[in-house]
Structure 1
């Protein structure tokens, strides 16, 4: 077993490890998907932790994640620290844990501090009357620009992976989650920047506000930024729904075969 804790949470290490050892029986389920399971645990002194348990990799990938590539849990931990060290927000990283056998990686966990957010970016795509709607999106465009200027490509940049919190000074902070897939560049081209934001939404009202602000920062024509991003967003949505439709057909076929 490989265990790495942040120096800021070493005093909680033994307590947290007890929860991990009894992960299946304790905790509150926050998300239970087919790939990963996320639970929260109340630790002493008011600390609430978020534990993401990754699904055991398929046979060949067990070897890959043990000897060739870093595990998703480790990448999440390291990328979280990278973001914080470069002035960006993410729930405080606490630890990652890897369990291996002679062949490769088995269970793995990424542990972070649970964040009490005000809303998820997705909420802005479904409620355009949300208080401060324009202000939040302009701030998000500025945040995205800073991220890109630092060469950070957040691959899973979807509407569910940005959490928003309003500070006491009235400014909005954006916290990135689901961090195991990130690339780092010396420079990001305009095309790559637009591609990186294409998974967020295809909502025209949302995109127009983001693009108007982003265009000012990148010194490009607003219509060019909007048309490029809207086209990429529409293409992504089309491909996403086509893949889901195909997957549902395959799963339906499998169910019929079992019957």
Structure 2
């Protein structure tokens, strides 16, 4: 077994973190349902951190992650570091660890600061009368605009992947999580920007508010053009999502038959 790991330069207790990762299966408090990837909370010298254990890859990805691609754990660590350098909110990265065997990647872990926040974007979708709904949605849109201006294309920009923290009256901060899929650009096109909103909400009213707010900062297009493109990207995503869901349902039916 070969282990590869890296720690944030701000971390002094690397041995303690390695101990927690190596004892991941028997220690820690489970956070979330752990359906796909498993996250556990640990106490690190009085500070709560979370460690994410990524789903064990299939045989093809085991090889790919050893020879051709960076693991999800490593990408999460590196992308978090880049985001903070760009002054974009994300939990402080602590470390990543990869275990390799003769075939390829066996398992991998990403450790980061554990942030406690009031909500995620999902609450805005599911609770229309959430307090300060309009204010939060508009500030989130400005946050997304700033991402785009800094060339960050967050491919998993979806309801559960932005933590939202209230820091003052009518003032919120935003933190990206689940970071392993990102592209970085010198300049993002209009189409890339609008497509980046496609996974967030199926609600046309929310798209209208985000289009209105985005148009205040992105002046190359009119509000109507922004709304049209953002709504089209959203509709296309929802149709594709529904198609995949129907196909998955059929496959399950065929397997049972």
Please indicate the TM-score interval, normalised by the length of the shorter structure: over 0.9
Conserved? CA contact 2:132–2:170, under 8 Å: no
Conserved? CA contact 2:154–2:181, under 8 Å: yes
Quick one: distance in 2 between partners of 1:180 and 1:51? 14
Q: Which residue number in structure 2 is paired with residue 126 of structure 1?
A: 126
> Comparing 160-169 with 137-146, which one deviates more in the overlay?
160-169
Structure 1 residue 169, shift from structure 2 partner: 6.5
Quick one: distance in 2 between partners of 1:169 and 1:50? 29
Quick one: distance in 2 between partners of 1:96 and 1:248? 36
Query: Can you list the C-alpha shifts for 1:38-68, whole angstroms capped at 9, x where unaligned?
Result: 11112222x1111111112111211111111
Q: Which residue number in structure 2 is paired with residue 106 of structure 1?
A: 106
Quick one: distance in 2 between partners of 1:54 and 1:32? 13
Matches within 5 A, 1:182-221: 182-219=182-219, 220-221=221-222
TM-score, normalised with respect to structure 1: 0.93
SS of aligned partner of 1:156: coil
> Comparing 216-225 with 168-177, which one deviates more in the overlay?
168-177
Quick one: distance in 2 between partners of 1:48 and 1:10? 15
> Comparing 187-196 with 218-227, which one deviates more in the overlay?
218-227
Q: Which has the higher helix share?
A: 1
Quick one: distance in 2 between partners of 1:170 and 1:100? 48
Conserved? CA contact 2:135–2:170, under 8 Å: no
Quick one: distance in 2 between partners of 1:238 and 1:30? 31
Query: Can you list the C-alpha shifts for 1:55-109, whole angstroms capped at 9, x where unaligned?
Result: 1211121111111111110000000000000010001100000000122111100
Quick one: distance in 2 between partners of 1:32 and 1:62? 24
Quick one: distance in 2 between partners of 1:114 and 1:83? 17
Query: Is residue 6 of structure 1 aligned with residue 5 of structure 2?
Result: no
Query: Can you list the C-alpha shifts for 1:206-230, whole angstroms capped at 9, x where unaligned?
Result: 1111110101211121111112111
Query: Is residue 29 of structure 1 aligned with residue 11 of structure 2?
Result: no
Matches within 5 A, 1:125-144: 125-144=125-144
Structure 1: segments with no counterpart, 5+ residues: none
SS of aligned partner of 2:213: helix
Q: Which residue number in structure 2 is paired with residue 153 of structure 1?
A: 153
Q: Which residue number in structure 1 is paired with residue 226 of structure 2?
A: 225
Task: Indicate the RMSD between aligned Cα atoms, in angstroms.
Answer: 1.4
TM-score, normalised with respect to structure 2: 0.94
Structure 2: segments with no counterpart, 5+ residues: none
Q: Which residue number in structure 2 is paired with residue 163 of structure 1?
A: 163
Structure 1 residue 152, shift from structure 2 partner: 0.7
Q: Which residue number in structure 2 is paired with residue 73 of structure 1?
A: 73
Runs of 4+ in 1 over 6 A off after TM superposition: none
Q: Which residue number in structure 2 is paired with residue 42 of structure 1?
A: 43
Aligned length: 254
